[in-house]
Amino acid sequence: MQRARAAATKAKRLLERLPVTAYIGLGANLGQAAQTLRWAVAQMAQWHGVCLQAVSDLYRTAPHEAQCPDFVNAVALVETTRTAPELLQALLALELQAGRERPYRNAPRTLDLDLLLYGDACINSPQLVVPHPRMHERAFVLVPLAQIAPELVTACKLHDVKNQVISQLESWD
């Protein structure tokens, strides 16, 4: 009886939680990278407590601070009732499903998912830092983010990354 009551209380809290706008960076540079990003977006769209609102086009980018194949990148906008740590755990689980390994820093990857922004929250924990601490330095984040949320990316920020190689590949249509 007590377990049922606890489950009902947890369910009620989830229903009462207001949706938060979050932005997720997606990237891959191993295997069929574009196909993997499409799969990841389709998986996220099915998650309970997550409503996919928009996805940028796909972009090809040279690796940043690494020697490896080019990346395919995008940014997704979601509305979620999940907490930031819950959303992060779901993203990490999806990376594992895609075969993500972390043998060393900036290693090539089958799928990389980063929680870039979570509402206006500032989070600084050992597991999660939001806003993403290096997003302002990376064209592969700023250019697709500007496509789906231009109010979040200033011309000055885009100017700061103008020397990073990035090219639009395709839209989701």
Active site residue 13: no
> Which one is catalytic: 70, 109, 120, 160?
109
Burial of 3 (C-beta count, 10 Å sphere; 0-12/13-18/19+)? exposed
Residue from 21, 119, 122 nearest 78 by CA: 21
Q: Which of 60, 82, 112, 138 is catalytic?
A: 112
**The amino acid at 128:** L
**Contact status, residue 69 vs residue 108, Cβ threshold 8 Å:** yes
Active site residue 100: yes
Catalytic site includes residue 160: no
The catalytic residue among 60, 82, 114, 138 is 114
Q: List beta partners, residue 52.
A: 78
- 109 as an active site residue: the answer is yes
- Among 82, 100, 134, 173, the active-site one is 100
Closest C-alpha among 72, 77, 74 to residue 34: 72
**Catalytic sites, residue numbers:** 100, 109, 112, 114
